[in-house]
Amino acid sequence: MKAYVFPGQGAQFEGMGHDLYDQSNEARELFEQANDILGYGITDVMFEGSAEDLKATRITQPAIFLHSIITAKLAGEGFRPDMVAGHSLGEFSALVAAGALNFADGLRLVQQRALAMQQACDLEPGTMAAILGQEDETVEEVCASIDGVVIPANYNSPGQLVISGTLAGVQAVVDHFTEAGAKAIMLPVGGAFHSPLMQPAQDQLESAIEKTDFSRPSCPVYQNISAQPETDPEQIQRNLIKQLTGPVRWTQTMQRMLADGVTEFIEVGGTGKVLQGLVKKIDRRFPTSKLEVL
């Protein structure tokens, strides 16, 4: 069984999608449709922007979404998932690729998500940090002991858990582990993603998600908040609403996919390296690859 997985922020690269645009009329049409929907030329930034330009949340999220979805569409009959999942932003890509959302609605939600997240960051500064080499339970206990907002945000792989919260809260957890001789790294991000500090963004996105039509996907979608396979459109909507303030349970998602019989993981879009690397840290026995279309 094949699982197709879709990356989130951090998988962008300079010139992303330019080769697809140049070599495929279908890709060109989708990119131009995206420019119209977004109201600006995102292709200009994707194809010619600097790495710094591509880091801006309002650019990064739609850019990675577009690269993933167009890659999947160009694969044609070669894209036949038995199950899908996406890391954070990538969950929107997974839902479109599996037919639970159409392309235009998915892109509009991604744009609204990116803008709402940036606004939430501006309202209350926050940050994130990676805690390495520790048991998840240990990190959870330390976070719970700190005054203020700081929670586990991304369960990326065993021994790699990203925390998120206020500047002081995250720093306190980092100091705790550093003083104990463990490795803890502050991340160069602009906000406390997947934490309660994203509540204003979630409130904005909730209305947009509720007004969007969702369909039954062509295969199970393993969602971040539950790490469970979902096919019911209403449940998918509810889980998607919770995603901005809840953790990305990627380790648990991969483990559930493995338990459900997956034999191969294929990363769709972006650099094609981020999620392959996490899968290998979870279980090296299973083959991984990047979806190639040109």
| Among 190, 24, 47, 213, residue whose Cα is nearest residue 119 | 190
- The answer to whether 173 and 143 have CB atoms below 8 angstroms apart is yes
As a whole number of angstroms, the distance between CA 92 and CA 86 comes to 7
Provide the residue ranges of all domains of the chain, joining segments of one domain with +.
2-122+196-290, 125-186
- Evaluate if pTM is beyond 0.85: yes
Question: Among the options 93, 194, 195, 226, which is catalytic?
Answer: 194
**pLDDT at res. 154:** 96
As a whole number of angstroms, the distance between CA 24 and CA 30 comes to 10
- The answer to whether 282 and 70 have CB atoms below 8 angstroms apart is no
Active site residue 88: yes
Tell me the pLDDT tens digit for each residue of 255-283: 999 999 999 999 999 999 999 999 999 88
Res 141 pLDDT > 90: yes
How do 264-267 and 2-6 pair as beta strands? Answer: parallel
- The answer to whether 154 and 209 have CB atoms below 8 angstroms apart is no
Tell me the pLDDT tens digit for each residue of 76-107: 888 999 999 999 999 999 999 999 999 999 99
Mean pLDDT in the chain? 94
* Model confidence band, residue 186 (pLDDT cutoffs 50, 70, 90): very high
CATH class of 125-186: alpha beta
Tell me the pLDDT tens digit for each residue of 281-293: 988 888 999 998 8
CATH number of 2-122+196-290: 3.40.366.10
Question: Among the options 88, 164, 195, 226, which is catalytic?
Answer: 88
**pLDDT at res. 32:** 97
Per-residue b or e along 112-135, where b marks 16 or more CB atoms closer than 10 Å to that residue's CB = bbbbbbbebbeebebbbbbbeebe
**pLDDT at res. 68:** 97
